[in-house]
């Protein structure tokens, strides 16, 4: 065999001249699915390139806002499975980015906090996140990006009231 000619990854093969059905392109839901998957893929790749993952970024971001420093709260805030969070925290702890110690008041619990290197890392990951988003939305100008974000947030808040701006502690600052 010469080389695996068939590189049919389900995502973007982009055979010119063969386009998806007009009917699907007209569907906002279809576009949402497609774009969601694409941006997820790109994000993954970008983070993996530096030995991290988008999940690391999310966890660190949660920790910086504090007030959700037990593992259960972190998991709930991000909608992660608690058992899955464990592995993430292991990695972050091993890298010295977080601190995990028992809660003296309830020795079942772990109090998780950001270390100074963790804060630095967060800043780094944040930068990557911004640049990915910037690149992904390159075809939109500033006003359009704001418009898009507003519309998406409206829909998302409708399905998950927790996202609604204003309500809650961890607001803009």
Partner DNA sequence: TATTGTTATACTCTATAACTATA
Partner DNA sequence: TATAGTTATAGAGTATAACAATA
User: For 51, which DSSP code?
Assistant: T
For position 157 contacting a copy of itself by CB under 8 A, the verdict is yes
- Which H or E run includes 13? none
Least separation in angstroms between residue 64's CB and a copy of itself is 8
For position 46 contacting a copy of itself by CB under 8 A, the verdict is no
Pick out residues in 85-114 that bind DNA (CB under 7 A): 85-87, 89-90, 100, 106-110
CA distance 27 to 15: 21
> What are the backbone angles phi and psi of residue 40, rounded to the nearest 5°?
-65, -45
For position 4 contacting a copy of itself by CB under 8 A, the verdict is no
Pick out residues in 49-88 that bind DNA (CB under 7 A): 70-72, 75, 81-87
Hunting for tokens 């780094």 — which residue is that?
Answer: 124
Give the side-chain half-sphere CA count within 13 A for 50: 13
Pick out residues in 72-101 that bind a copy of itself (CB under 8 A): 73, 75-84
User: For 162, which DSSP code?
Assistant: G
Q: Which does 138 bind (CB under 5 to 8 A by kind): a copy of itself, DNA, none?
A: a copy of itself
For position 17 contacting DNA by CB under 7 A, the verdict is no
């Amino acid at each position: 065999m010469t080389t695996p000619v068939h590189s049919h990854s389900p995502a973007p093969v982009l055979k010119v001249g063969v386009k998806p059905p007009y009917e699907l392109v007209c569907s906002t839901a279809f576009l949402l699915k497609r774009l969601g998957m694409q941006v997820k893929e790109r994000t993954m790749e970008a983070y993996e390139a530096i030995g991290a993952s988008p999940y690391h970024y999310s966890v660190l971001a949660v920790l910086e806002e504090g007030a959700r420093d037990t593992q259960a709260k972190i998991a709930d805030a991000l909608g992660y499975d608690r058992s899955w969070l464990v592995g993430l925290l292991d990695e972050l702890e091993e890298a010295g980015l977080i601190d995990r110690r028992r809660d003296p008041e309830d020795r079942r619990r772990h109090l998780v906090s950001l270390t100074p290197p963790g804060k630095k890392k967060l800043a780094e990951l944040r930068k990557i996140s911004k640049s990915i988003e910037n690149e992904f939305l390159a075809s939109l100008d500033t006003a359009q990006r704001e418009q898009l974000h507003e519309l998406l947030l409206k829909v998302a808040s409708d399905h998950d009231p927790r996202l609604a701006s204003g309500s809650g502690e961890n607001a803009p600052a």
